[in-house]
A and B are shown apart, each in its own frame.
Chain A
Amino acid sequence: MATKQQFNRVFVQEADGAPKGVVRGSLARLGFPTFEERVGLFLKAVHGERNFTNEERADTRERILAAMAASILAKSEAGFPKNARVRRPLIGAKPLETGAIRAALASSSQRRSSDNADTPSVRIILDELADLEQLTAAHRSNEAGSMPAQVREGALATSQLSDRRQNWRFHRGTFIGVGAIAAVIFIYVALGGSWFGENLNSTITSSPQAESRGTSLAAGQPRPAEELVKRGRELVVAGNMSAARLVLRQAAEAGNASAALELGATYDPIYLARPSVTIAGGGGVPRESQTVGVVSSELSSAYIATARAWYEKAKELGATEAQERLERLDVVEAKGWEGGRFSVLFQRAGRRWRAQRR
């Protein structure tokens, strides 16, 4: 990948010296504000006329930048550019041949007990294959210039195409995942293995992420789960709960019980409200709690449900402490606490965070 200096030298400096074209259209004289002017405009619009601190300006810069980036990405979601097209799958120039996977599934099912053919894993794959085949057909017809008429005509068509693009994007990862699954299937079929369904489950949960990361970031070798857990703990201690979640999630997905347990804790309001928890980075505490001090009951419920889900996963993976934490949530809920009451805990954490920040 080229460096930043190279990017700057090649494009930005040359762009500065490029001939100044004329912006066409009747609105040419209506310009855009500069980035700093955008920041000032936003602050005035939201807070009124007053002096703003450097911190407020920095926060706003980040916010406006995020909105501008979202504006660019929204263009791709909205069917831009003019020549709307469905993206190619990332694996190979040709669309995935799903027939081979179906054949492998069928033959392996015949060779095993009939129960295996009905495992959720197999059903998921068959469902995904059906979707993929449909998308592949759309992709091919698009490439051949024979996109269905309704895709090209009218607003409804635009919406359908955008939906398809969205689905395509969603399935891009799935394509890769199914590719990996197919490879696994072929190996298992070749070996005549008897643990087909069980292993397929783990393949489904781990492959898309690993593959996607590999293609989008060209990441290196995956780290061992223990190392990720260690790193996750360090991040929790440092108060960077968001980063910790990401790292712990990778380990949890790899089947590490401790990671799942600790990941659940980062969403657990009882855990977050403990004075011993470092929240210097603001991570873990809901953003509403950081800014306005109020957390909606819906948000609290979402956190708790997520904590529960990870605790359940940890329990499934053999973490004995998970049961205790689930019971603790049960006990508090049995006392009549609803999501709104839990928000008190978040508010407490938020107050501490604001105090630390000051």
Chain B
Amino acid sequence: MLAAVSESQTSNRIGDSAASSPSPSDGSGGLARGQLRLQVLWSLPEGHQRYLFEEVHKLCRSHLRRQRVPPSEMTPEELVSEIWQKLIGTVSLLDAESSDCFPVNPREWSVDPHAPERDGRVVWLVEEIGGSEALMHRREDILRQRYGRSLPGGGRRIAQLSSENEIDPDPSRAEPLEETDARYVWLGLLAAADLVFSQNDDASMLLRLMAEDPDILGVSSTGRWPVRLIVTLLNSRFPSATWTDDRVDNAKRRLVNWISRLMRKNRLDATDLEALFAKVARQQESGEREIQIDLHHTNLVS
């Protein structure tokens, strides 16, 4: 019954969602598609949204019935939640993503403000998220959250359940909450920046330096960047490149502009952004822990 959905090594089970949506040809196209879905959903009038929500409910119910999935295994509400959680949780990191690869041209859609069933945007969204394949993927996502990835020979590894482990990574650490939060925010920022800037990029090197060395930012009480100090530290830490004031300034400007665009595009305020970065770090850590659990469990049962 579940074998129809192929197991992709790349699908993300690090956190509460997964990237297993069908994409046209490559990963970036699929991700851009996710953004488009959210943007289109948000552009719909309320009546159209209501119609879409009801349609998705119906499709989920009929899908589970057709697949003979008992409510004890999965309810339509769970499937509906998973669909919307994935769609609404889409984030644009910009820079690394290009709108050129959008699979459709929204200008070609017919827009009917009175009849949602004839509105091209609604029809497209229903096809995108309510299709049989998409629903199978969301079901697979839910099952992975509960039991982990399916094994090559069928069935699933019996492992510690990931959804139970979303907690403070090490409660025995006697670290003040504020410091823990800050650490996660920086780690999350580093993880996100790593997706946009290559490791050898000036911006990335600058960010790593600042995240690891708190003294740099504490030096200036005026809020200005201690560029000279940063230049010295970067030259000693990354001797392969010659750092100058201009170069640091340029890297700083790119970083700040990226964060600015990130906030603006995703319409996040400072608190949201910090919470998001902290969550990214926690999920990344949780993913690493799952790998350790897998390793451990393999040893345990072998």
Chain A residues at the B interface, C-beta cutoff of 8 Å: 1-4, 6-16, 18-21, 23-27, 30-35, 37-38, 41-42, 44-46, 48-49, 63-83, 85, 88, 120, 154-155, 158-159, 162-163, 165-167, 169-170, 173, 204-205, 208-209, 212-213, 216-217, 219-220, 223, 227-228, 231, 235, 240-243, 245-247, 249, 253, 283-284, 286-288, 292, 294-299, 301-303, 305-306, 309-310, 312-313, 340, 343
A2 with B211: CB separation less than 8 A: yes
CA distance A298 to B155 in the complex (A): 10
**Contact residues, B78-93 vs A (CB, 8 A):** 78, 80-81, 84-86, 88-93
User: Given the known A-B contacts A2-B182, A7-B182, A302-B161, are A30 and B91 also in contact in the complex, defined by CB atoms under 8 Å?
Assistant: no
Q: List 11 A-B contacts (CB under 8 A).
A: A6-B218, A8-B270, A15-B257, A26-B105, A32-B39, A75-B27, A173-B291, A213-B170, A217-B169, A231-B172, A242-B167
Residue ID in chain A nearest B50 by CB atoms: A49
Q: What sequence of 0s and 1s flags, for each residue 262-290 of chain B, a beta carbon within 8 Å of any chain A beta carbon?
A: 01111111101111100110111101110
CA distance A219 to B186 in the complex (A): 16
B210 with A78: CB separation less than 8 A: no
Q: What sequence of 0s and 1s flags, for each residue 52-82 of chain B, a beta carbon within 8 Å of any chain A beta carbon?
A: 0100100000000000000111110110110
CA distance A12 to B292 in the complex (A): 35
B198 at the interface (CB under 8 A from A): yes
B: number of interface residues (CB 8 Å) = 139
B124 at the interface (CB under 8 A from A): no
Q: What sequence of 0s and 1s flags, for each residue 288-302 of chain B, a beta carbon within 8 Å of any chain A beta carbon?
A: 110111011101111
B132 at the interface (CB under 8 A from A): no
CA distance A165 to B90 in the complex (A): 22
B52 CB to nearest chain A CB (Å): 8
Residue ID in chain A nearest B284 by CB atoms: A73
- Please give, as numbers and ranges, the residues of chain A lying within 8 Å of B30 by CB-CB distance: 78
- Please give, as numbers and ranges, the residues of chain B lying within 8 Å of A228 by CB-CB distance: 172
Residue in A169, A219, A297, A309 whose beta carbon sits within 8 Å of that of B300 in the complex:
A309
B14 at the interface (CB under 8 A from A): yes
A78 with B27: CB separation less than 8 A: yes
B160 with A223: CB separation less than 8 A: no
A31 with B81: CB separation less than 8 A: no
- Please give, as numbers and ranges, the residues of chain B lying within 8 Å of A30 by CB-CB distance: 36, 39-40, 42-43, 106
B229 at the interface (CB under 8 A from A): no
- Please give, as numbers and ranges, the residues of chain B lying within 8 Å of A1 by CB-CB distance: 179, 182-183, 186, 211-212, 214
CA distance A310 to B300 in the complex (A): 8
Residue ID in chain A nearest B96 by CB atoms: A81
B73 with A296: CB separation less than 8 A: yes
CA distance A219 to B136 in the complex (A): 40
A299 with B146: CB separation less than 8 A: yes
Q: What sequence of 0s and 1s flags, for each residue 161-194 of chain B, a beta carbon within 8 Å of any chain A beta carbon?
A: 1011111111111000011011101101101101
CA distance A299 to B148 in the complex (A): 11
B96 with A75: CB separation less than 8 A: yes
Q: What sequence of 0s and 1s flags, for each residue 138-169 of chain B, a beta carbon within 8 Å of any chain A beta carbon?
A: 00000000110000000010111101111111
B120 at the interface (CB under 8 A from A): no
CA distance A326 to B259 in the complex (A): 54
B88 with A64: CB separation less than 8 A: yes
Residue ID in chain B nearest A30 by CB atoms: B39
CA distance A163 to B85 in the complex (A): 25
- Please give, as numbers and ranges, the residues of chain A lying within 8 Å of B188 by CB-CB distance: 69
User: Given the known A-B contacts A32-B92, A69-B15, A297-B72, are A212 and B160 also in contact in the complex, defined by CB atoms under 8 Å?
Assistant: no
- Please give, as numbers and ranges, the residues of chain A lying within 8 Å of B161 by CB-CB distance: 286, 299, 302-303, 306
Residue in A33, A65, A88, A246 whose beta carbon sits within 8 Å of that of B276 in the complex:
A65
Q: Is the interface of B mostly helix, strand, loop or mixed?
A: helix
B40 CB to nearest chain A CB (Å): 7
B267 with A31: CB separation less than 8 A: yes
**Contact residues, B228-284 vs A (CB, 8 A):** 255-257, 259-261, 263-270, 272-276, 279-280, 282-284
CA distance A295 to B146 in the complex (A): 11
B144 CB to nearest chain A CB (Å): 12
B227 at the interface (CB under 8 A from A): no
User: Given the known A-B contacts A11-B256, A216-B285, are A242 and B292 also in contact in the complex, defined by CB atoms under 8 Å?
Assistant: no
CA distance A310 to B296 in the complex (A): 11
Given A41-B41, A69-B282, A70-B19, 20 extra CB contacts under 8 A: A1-B212, A18-B257, A20-B264, A25-B102, A26-B106, A31-B39, A34-B269, A35-B268, A37-B42, A45-B56, A66-B16, A67-B88, A71-B89, A72-B192, A78-B19, A82-B28, A165-B10, A205-B299, A208-B295, A305-B158
Max count, chain B CB within 10 A of own CB: residue among A4, A72, A288: A72
CA distance A1 to B274 in the complex (A): 15
A61 CB to nearest chain B CB (Å): 9
CA distance A205 to B77 in the complex (A): 40
B256 with A14: CB separation less than 8 A: yes
- Please give, as numbers and ranges, the residues of chain B lying within 8 Å of A297 by CB-CB distance: 72
CA distance A343 to B182 in the complex (A): 40
- Please give, as numbers and ranges, the residues of chain B lying within 8 Å of A169 by CB-CB distance: 291
A67 with B102: CB separation less than 8 A: no
- Please give, as numbers and ranges, the residues of chain B lying within 8 Å of A220 by CB-CB distance: 173
